[in-house]
Structure 1
Amino acid sequence: MARVSQEHLAARRRQILDGAARCFARDGFHGTSMQDVLRETGLSAGAVYRYFPSKDAIIAALAGDVLATVRECFRRSAESDDPPPPDALLAEALGRVAKRLVVPAPMLLQVWSETLRNPELRVTFQENFAALLGLWSRIVATYQRQGRMRPDVAPEAVARALAASAQGFLLQRALFGPVDEAVLGEGLRGLMSMTGPADAGSSPPRGAPAAGTPERP
């Protein structure tokens, strides 16, 4: 019997995931059955179940592929001695992710909501998100070593803020339609450009008058 190549196995797996993604995007996770996936891919039950024993396994694989794509886009910056600033970093990475994703943006919302129901999917997300935070924390630590970012903030706190920016941008895109990644980069660049007195962000002592407010006699 001829030995099946890894390229063939990978292509067949990709065929199943792409077909399932089309079904999920069209009918939702709960409106899609394994029979729908079989019809969409044109494959036999045996061929599909060889790779994925259930619909949940397909969903977890799709989520894992998306998260791996996102993680890989930041790995190079994490390993660099001179990573780009946050505005360029997120805009470039999200642009590359958008080009490589095979799932439509609205499906990301379905995947996120499934983590509340699917323990396997939740573990997949938790593990990949932890890895992503680790990469971003390394990038932030490099900023701090270079003097490009204040050293008195925890790298993971900044990493979580970056993650929230990326997730929020993807959420807007899923809910409201296409938005160019450059918009996120420009917005972050504006936030990063804020200047002012060193104590501009501090709050006055409790009971003290606000700046510009005359004291009572």
Structure 2
Amino acid sequence: MARVSQEHLDARRRQILDGAARCFARNGFHATSMQDVLREADLSAGAVYRYFRSKEELIGAIAEEVLTAIHTTFEAAARQSPPPPPDVLVAQGLREVFSAATGLTYEGKSGFARMMIQAWTETLRNEELAAVLHEGFGRVRAAWVRIVEAYQQAGLMRTDVSPESVARTMIAVAQGFAVQQALFGDAPVELIEEGLRGVMSMGDGAGEAQPS
């Protein structure tokens, strides 16, 4: 019997996750059945259950994938000296998140945001999913702490502010934007980037026209 290549296995796993993501974004987590996922992915039950035993495992895998992409972005930034400014970094992280919505072309960023909010709410009843999100959040938060420490060492940020406080605030800003996407529809990431840039400009020639 011919061996199945790792490339084929990865492609099949991707096919299943994309199908599940479309279902969750379109119909919601609880209204989606595994049969819905089978139809959306156009695969047999045996093919899907070889990778994922339940909807909970599917949404956990999607959430872990997104958190890993975000962590990679901020971890790379933390190694720069100094890192890019917060407005650029938050926007970059959001673009990484929403790039995962390529399989949700008919739903756009708002559909993807709705799916992620459903994952957050599922943590209230699913301990395994909660563990996935807590671990991922911890990694992202730790990366942001190192970014803030680098800002402080470079003289770009006050040193009497806790890096942990700033890290949690930056993550909260990104999460809040995702909630707005879910509730009120797609909006360009440039909006939050410009908004953060405006907040950061306070006390630095505020009210003066900046050169373009």
Q: Please classify the TM superposition score into its range, dividing by the shorter chain length.
A: 0.7 to 0.9
Cα contact 1:137–1:155 (8 A) shared by 2: yes
1:127, distance to aligned residue in structure 2 (A): 0.1
1:81, distance to aligned residue in structure 2 (A): 1.6
Match of 1:159 among 152, 161, 167: 167
Cα contact 1:16–1:37 (8 A) shared by 2: yes
Could you say what the CA RMSD is over the residues aligned between the two structures, in angstroms?
1.5
Cα contact 2:29–2:115 (8 A) shared by 1: no
TM-score, reference length from structure 1: 0.85
Aligned partner of 1:88 in structure 2 is 88
Structure 1 unaligned regions, length at least 5:
197-217
After superposition, give the CA deviation of every residue in 1:132-166 in whole Å (9 maximum; x if it has no partner).
00000010000000010011111111100101111
* Count of aligned residue pairs for this structure pair: 196
Aligned partner of 2:16 in structure 1 is 16
After superposition, give the CA deviation of every residue in 1:105-154 in whole Å (9 maximum; x if it has no partner).
22122111111111111101000000000000010000000010011111
Instruction: Please list, as runs of the form range in 1=range in 2, the aligned pairs for 1:172-191 lying within 5 A after superposition.
Output: 172-191=180-199
Match of 2:201 among 180, 190, 193: 193
Aligned partner of 2:51 in structure 1 is 51
Aligned partner of 1:110 in structure 2 is 118
123-132 or 64-73, larger mean C-alpha shift: 64-73
1:182, distance to aligned residue in structure 2 (A): 1.4
Aligned partner of 1:98 in structure 2 is 98
Aligned partner of 1:209 in structure 2 is none
Cα contact 1:73–1:97 (8 A) shared by 2: no
Structure 1: distance between partners of 2:182 and 2:26: 14
Percentage identity across aligned positions? 57
Structure 2: distance between partners of 1:41 and 1:90: 32
Aligned partner of 1:201 in structure 2 is none
Amino acid at match of 1:96: E
Aligned partner of 1:27 in structure 2 is 27
1:176, distance to aligned residue in structure 2 (A): 0.7
Query: Runs of 4+ in structure 1 displaced over 3 angstroms?
Result: 100-103
1:92, distance to aligned residue in structure 2 (A): 2.4
90-99 or 75-84, larger mean C-alpha shift: 90-99
Aligned partner of 1:37 in structure 2 is 37
Cα contact 1:16–1:41 (8 A) shared by 2: yes
11-20 or 35-44, larger mean C-alpha shift: 35-44
1:181 to 1:28, Cα distance in 2 relative to 1, 3 A: same
Amino acid at match of 1:154: S
Larger Rg: 1
After superposition, give the CA deviation of every residue in 1:2-31 in whole Å (9 maximum; x if it has no partner).
121111111000111111112212221111
